[in-house]
Amino acid sequence: MKKHFNIWIVLLIGITMAACSGNKSKEAQDDQSSPVVSVKIVYPTDGNISNYITVNGKTIYLKKNAIIAPFSGYITRVFIHLGDRVRNVQPLFILETKENQALASSPGLTSNAGRIKIASPVAGFISDLAVSAPGTYVTEGTVLGNVVQNRQTTIQMNVPFEYHNLIRLNELCSIQLPDGTNAQGLISNILPTIDPVSQTQTVFVKPLTNEPLPENLNVIIRFIDLQHHHTLLLPKSAIQTNETQDHFWVMKVVHDTLAIKVPVIKGIENDSTIEILNPVISPSDPIITDGGYGLTDSTTVKIVR
- Count CB-CB contacts under 10 A for residue 288: 24
191, 202 in Cβ contact below 8 A?
A: yes
Alpha-carbon gap, residue 136 to 102, rounded angstroms = 15
The domain containing residue 237 runs over which residues? 37-51+229-303
Alpha-carbon gap, residue 145 to 161, rounded angstroms = 37
Q: Degrees (nearest 5) of the Cα angle 130, 87, 136? A: 25
Same domain, 235 and 294: yes
Quote the pLDDT of residue 115.
85
Residue type for position 152: Q
Quote the pLDDT of residue 182.
92
Same domain, 299 and 272: yes
Evaluate whether residue 109 is within a structural domain: yes
CATH of the domain at 93: 2.40.50.100
**Which ranges of the chain have pLDDT less than 50?**
1-3, 5, 24-31, 109
Same domain, 207 and 255: no
283, 41 in Cβ contact below 8 A?
A: no
Evaluate whether residue 27 is within a structural domain: no
Quote the pLDDT of residue 2.
47
Quote the pLDDT of residue 109.
46
Evaluate whether residue 137 is within a structural domain: yes
Same domain, 137 and 277: no
Evaluate whether residue 22 is within a structural domain: no
Quote the pLDDT of residue 17.
57
CATH of the domain at 220: 2.40.30.170
**Residue 42 vs residues 8, 173, 239: alpha-carbon distances, Å:** 61, 32, 12
Domain end residue (candidates: 93, 113, 148):
148
Evaluate whether residue 242 is within a structural domain: yes
Quote the pLDDT of residue 102.
61
Alpha-carbon gap, residue 89 to 120, rounded angstroms = 5
- pLDDT digit string (tens) for 282-301? 899 999 999 888 888 888 88
Same domain, 235 and 223: no
Domain end residue (candidates: 191, 209, 227):
227
Same domain, 80 and 140: yes
Same domain, 80 and 103: yes
- The strand pair at 37-42 and 299-303 is best described as parallel
Quote the pLDDT of residue 113.
63
Same domain, 96 and 245: no
Domain end residue (candidates: 148, 174, 198):
148
CATH of the domain at 238: 2.40.420.20
Evaluate whether residue 292 is within a structural domain: yes
Evaluate whether residue 167 is within a structural domain: yes
Evaluate whether residue 3 is within a structural domain: no
72, 138 in Cβ contact below 8 A?
A: yes
